Amino acid sequence: MKKLMMFFLGFFMMGQMVKAQEVVNETFKEWKIVTVVESIIPMGLGRSRMIENMTEVETEQFRTSRTNGKRSAQSSVRRKDLKVDHFDEAKLLNFFSATGINFQNIASNDAMIASRVMELEAEGYKLVFVTSAVESYAGVDDDSGLFITRMFFCREYF
């Protein structure tokens, strides 16, 4: 009986050792940001777009450290080097027409944005966070205005 118990105990322990050596798949997250810029300039004079970056960027070459809180090497970072050349853009409609706010344009933009969100979800992305901001049209003397929305998507892969 003692030998039988030792056999089962040994068999159980071997199973645990094999289990402990299994390869664990580590998951990584891939992030995607989609930015929607909708113009609120009247009469279709503005440009509205949905933008997605398609370029991988390493930020290390664009970051600097301050040594005493005042000295900075940011002047060595050239703005033109920060620009990416590969991105997707989808044309959207402006919020305003000649007669004022255009609700058909807003509904059309919503359809375009929802379509892209569904495409990304079909690719395995999940919408994680949304943030928005506005620089509003303030009348005749103000010829600018934007409504910006950033959508942050994430997907896991092995």
pLDDT of residue 114: 97
- Provide the sign of the torsion angle of the four alpha carbons 93, 99, 100, 102, taken in this order: negative
pLDDT of residue 84: 81
pLDDT of residue 36: 96
pLDDT of residue 108: 96
Rounded Cα–Cα distance for residues 46 and 44 (Å)? 6
The dihedrals phi and psi of 60, each to the nearest 5 degrees, come to -55, -40
For the chain, 158 residues long, the average pLDDT of each consecutive 10-residue run is 61 55 69 92 80 86 72 70 86 85 92 97 96 78 81 89
**The residue to which tokens 């777009």 are assigned:** 49
pLDDT of residue 14: 59
pLDDT of residue 99: 80
Rounded Cα–Cα distance for residues 18 and 10 (Å)? 12
pLDDT of residue 44: 67
Single pTM value for the model: 0.72
Tell me if 23 sits within 8 A of 147, measured CB to CB. Answer: no
Rounded Cα–Cα distance for residues 105 and 53 (Å)? 25
